[in-house]
Amino acid sequence: MGLLTIIKKVKQKEKEMRLLMVGLDNAGKTTIVKRINGEDTSTISPTLGFNIKTMQYKNFRLNIWDVGGQKTLRAYWRNYYEQTDGMIWVVDSSDLRRLDDCRAELHGLLKEEKLAGASLLIFANKQDITGALRPEQIAKVLQLDLMDGSRHWKIVGCSAVGGDGLLTGFDWIVSDIGTRIFMHE
């Protein structure tokens, strides 16, 4: 009976997932996290550090690390790679001017050894804005076909403000990590 309790405890602990949210500044990372958690998204200011949020999602406890995307902060991203199960890369699909910058930062991230095993969800955000590129177009501009074949990834169009696409994205990354990490249950 004692052993059973121990096993159960270990499993409960295992049900935690660490997600890293990154992307250029003003991509909508914090808005996505607040929106998925059912919070007010009308007053969000630029993240000048990190926002950590724990939330219950299906049977998992998600620890979401949303790190600021301003240029001066990007050099610090690498401090948050450790133990990351999944990363969510958020793109402002209407900011065409900075898509090259966005691609360079993403491919830099993909070279990181500590993130090699992490599932990757790309949110093509701001689909509600006229002139925004569709997810397929974003995939092309970001050259996602150049990614290592072993990477689990998916691109999903979304609108953080309206909420469209967010559940599709989160459902995918949570179940992808779930089957990868907790498949022995």
Per annotation, catalytic residue among 12, 70, 83, 143: 70
Contact (CB, 8 A) for 124 and 133: yes
User: Which residues contact residue 25 at a Cβ distance below 8 angstroms, ignoring those fewer than 6 apart?
Assistant: 46, 68, 69, 70, 71, 73
179 is in an annotated binding site: no
Q: What are the backbone angles phi and psi of residue 86, rounded to the nearest 5°? A: -150, 145
In the complex, what is the shortest distance from the CB of residue 143 to another protein, in angstroms, rounded to a whole number? 29
In the complex, what is the shortest distance from the CB of residue 53 to another protein, in angstroms, rounded to a whole number? 5
Between residues 40 and 113, which has the closer beta carbon with respect to another protein? 40
| H helix runs in 127-165, sequence order | 135-141
**Which DSSP category does 28 fall into?**
S
> For another protein, how many residues bind (rule: CB under 8 A)?
16
Between residues 61 and 134, which has the closer beta carbon with respect to another protein? 61
Kindly tell me the burial class for residue 77, based on how many C-beta atoms sit within 10 Å of its own C-beta (0-12, 13-18, 19 or more): buried
Binding to another protein, residues 66-125 (CB under 8 A): 68, 73, 76, 79-80, 82
Between residues 83 and 143, which has the closer beta carbon with respect to another protein? 83
Contact (CB, 8 A) for 69 and 106: no
23 is in an annotated binding site: yes
71 is in an annotated binding site: no
Q: Is 70 a catalytic residue?
A: yes
Q: How many CB atoms lie within 10 A of CB 143?
A: 11
When asked if residue 53 is in the footprint of another protein (CB under 8 A), the reply is yes
The pair of structure tokens assigned to 130 is 């006229």
Between residues 4 and 75, which has the closer beta carbon with respect to another protein? 75
Q: Which residues are annotated as a binding site for GTP?
A: 23-30, 69, 125-128
Residues found near another protein in the complex (CB under 8 A):
48-56, 61, 68, 73, 76, 79-80, 82
